[in-house]
Chain A
Amino acid sequence: MTRDLPLKLLRRLLGLLLSLFVLLCLTFVIGRLMPTDPVGAIVGELADPAAYAAMRAKMGLDLPIPQQFWVYVTNLLHGDLGTAVLTGNSVASDLAAAFPATLELATLAIILSVAVGVPLGLLAALYRDTLLDQIARVLSLLGHSLPVFWFGMVGLIVFYAGLQWIGGPGRIDVFYEGIVEPRTGSILIDSLLAGENEIFWNALGHLILPACILAYASMAYIVRMTRSFTLEQLGQDYIIAARAKGLRLPAVVLGHILPNIAVQLVTILAISYGHMLEGAVLVEIVFSWPGVGQYMTNALMIGDMNAILACTLLIGLIFMILNALADAAYLALDPRTRDAR
């Protein structure tokens, strides 16, 4: 049984590679679908045919389609994502500048949603059908039904314009910008490393609301899943045995339930983290957060296909790798799954 584990992991890896290939094909096709003429966009409508043909050849659009795809993939593998119309820089360097902001936001959000979601899900299962369970259920239902960008705007109206508890849109107040040397890309960590406490608190004030908003939708999912995993365990004989021998509830939870649902939770976590990168696209616009999401929407507004497809690829790549890792972790860490498949 353990002998074919590497084989199964290898099959997962092949599956991931296949998915990535399809993603590449899709972005390639989408890039060719666009209604505007990419050559005309550069040389202008009134260019003479010779200049037009020269530009067309320079862009590689005169090659047969399979060859164009090959060029596209080799360029990608060399880190060449094309040039962004909006900034004039290479898309790769734009993304490298924007990604840390998204990562910082999504990471704080996932920490928050796990810190609240897992305990709440456990408690809801342990105190099933009580008021607490109902509250958890309502919170989770709302989280599944809220448009995240709207929730962010309501948050800004209440906490920024109304109560003035938090910093407004953006990562940091303007007069603090550019003081801290970027070392990790996370303003929180960089400002702590530089010993700039004031900047740290300012940045946290800007980060906390978007992170909470983003965390809420994932929290709803995590609560729901933790609750149903825990209920599944609570019905098992070993829990009854543990209780019967006099073990107290906290000890049962920490010693028996949590270890048994840990692998399932890790899977949920990976999926949620992937979804956060997606949710970040909408949240970043509302909070003028200079991350990948805002970069992608700015590109959408002007129809900059290079940038749009690069963002799709980046988010898709992370999303798929996280999914595959979750799957592999499940397979490798939980012996129960091996018999089933």
Chain B
Amino acid sequence: MSMEAQQPIAPAATEPAGGSSWWLASLRRLRREPLGMAGLCFIGLLVLVAALAPWIAPYDPAVQNLGNALQRPDWIHLAGTDEVGRDIFSRLVWGTRITLQIVVTVTLIIGPVGLLIGVVAGYCGGRVDAVLMRATDIVLSFPSLVLALAFAAALGAGLGTAIVAISLTSWPSIARLARAETLVVRQAEYIAAARLYGASHLRLIGLYVMPMCIPSVIVRLTLSMAGVILTAAGLGFLGLGAQPPAPEWGAMISSGRKVMLDAWWVSVMPGLAILATSLAFNLLGDALRDVLDPRHAR
């Protein structure tokens, strides 16, 4: 969405991108970005919570207890209980698994797909480029949430459908970026040298061009995840994501809507979790952009 992030990050003249020392240097620079580090730590914390959910959650996330419904947040129920007496904090803890599952799967789909389409378009140029970029532009001009809604409605509601629907509409920004990056890299002398040595196109694309595009693709992916989390929550809110009784955060907000004027915590708590997670990805993405692109002025 953001146009400024579409700028290619040209590899620094002295250090080649992708080398192990380059990654270490980048990590060291990231440590000087407090907000970015905060985002990274929060995401790390989420991974930990997701992994240790059975030990962290004080209650079973699915067990209903109608006698204990709509309890205010206190020390027994940190985030209160919902309309059927389930502990909201425990549900939030288990919900991190769903959120991370969405983030990881969408990343694994749109990262490689976007990278491949972008690099091939940029490397081949000509007609291949024209066709691939036309397709990218078309998908980019679609309203993604509405299209995801239509897909989810047709394929049947569920977590898998939501992931497919989100992926289908979010690869183009990665592809555009990878292409822009490839156009810069293609001109580099080391590519010409490798070609003179007789490297095949496949080898050139896979070993010489693609690695140079990875840093900016990672930045873009991180920033995209902030939006992906919001879209996923929106689909869940509409009942098109993970199905009840799964503790999906968007669906939890939706069930809290019925009681929102009497029991604000049922809907407010999951929203805070979504906000914090999305914010963490935005902060990390912003910081990574500054770190991986020395020219980027803030």
Contact = CB atoms under 8 A, between A and B. Distances in A.
B149 A296 contact: yes
Nearest to B268: A154
A30 interface: yes
A99 interface: no
Interface in B193-229: 226-227
Interface in A1-27: 15, 18-19, 22-23, 26-27
B153 A150 contact: no
A149 B255 CA distance: 13
Contacts of B1: 221, 275
Interface residues of B, number: 49
Interface string B231-266: 001100111100000000010010011001100100
Contacts of A320: 141-142
A149 B234 contact: yes
Contacts of A311: 146
Contacts of B134: 15, 18
Nearest to A318: B143
A278 B230 contact: no
B178 to A, nearest CB: 20
Interface stretch (B8-16, B50-58, B75-83, B275-283): B275-283
B147 to A, nearest CB: 7
Given A141-B282, A157-B264, A277 B143 contact: yes
Interface in A111-148: 141-142, 144-148
Per DSSP, are chain A's interface residues mostly helix, strand or loop, or mixed?
helix
A316 B143 contact: yes
Contacts of B256: 153
A33 B154 contact: yes
A166 interface: no
Contacts of A225: 2-4
Interface in B144-183: 144-147, 149-151, 153-156
Contact of A145 (B268, B279, B297): B279
A145 B282 contact: yes
A300 B138 CA distance: 25
B267 interface: yes
A309 B275 CA distance: 30
A150 B271 contact: yes
Given A147-B234, A154-B268, A316 B147 contact: yes
A282 interface: yes
Nearest to B257: A153
Given A35-B155, A282-B234, A147 B143 contact: no
B274 interface: yes
A72 to B, nearest CB: 15
A79 interface: no
A228 B146 contact: no
A27 B153 CA distance: 12
B271 A147 contact: yes
B149 A161 contact: no
Given A154-B268, A157-B268, A15 B137 contact: yes
Contacts of B144: 278
Per DSSP, are chain B's interface residues mostly helix, strand or loop, or mixed?
helix
A147 B253 contact: yes
B143 A274 contact: yes
B131 to A, nearest CB: 11
B261 A147 contact: no
Nearest to B283: A141
A71 B269 CA distance: 49
Interface residues of A, number: 56
Contacts of B154: 30-31, 33-35, 305
Contacts of A296: 146, 149
A309 B143 CA distance: 13
A309 B256 CA distance: 29
B156 to A, nearest CB: 5
Contacts of B3: 225
A245 B137 CA distance: 45
Interface string A151-168: 101101100010000000
A324 B240 CA distance: 30
A308 interface: yes
Given A228-B4, A282-B237, A301-B239, A315 B146 contact: yes
A290 interface: no
Contacts of B283: 141
A202 interface: no
A312 interface: yes
Contacts of B268: 150, 153-154, 157
B150 A297 contact: no
B230 A147 contact: yes
A144 to B, nearest CB: 5
Given A157-B260, A221-B2, A300-B153, A150 B267 contact: yes
16 contacts: A19-B141, A144-B282, A145-B282, A146-B230, A147-B278, A150-B253, A150-B274, A157-B261, A225-B2, A274-B143, A281-B145, A281-B149, A282-B237, A296-B149, A297-B238, A312-B150
Interface of B: 1-4, 134, 137-138, 141-147, 149-151, 153-156, 226-227, 230, 233-234, 237-240, 250, 253, 256-257, 260-261, 264, 267-268, 270-271, 274-275, 278-279, 282-283, 286, 297
Interface of A: 15, 18-19, 22-23, 26-27, 30-31, 33-35, 141-142, 144-151, 153-154, 156-157, 161, 221, 224-225, 228, 231, 274-275, 277-278, 281-282, 285-286, 296-297, 300-301, 303, 305, 308-309, 311-312, 315-316, 319-320, 323-324
Given A154-B268, A225-B3, A312-B147, 7 more contacts: A19-B137, A30-B150, A35-B156, A146-B278, A147-B253, A153-B267, A296-B149
The 9 tightest CB contacts between A and B, nearest first, are A150-B271, A145-B278, A145-B279, A33-B154, A319-B143, A312-B150, A30-B154, A161-B261, A34-B154
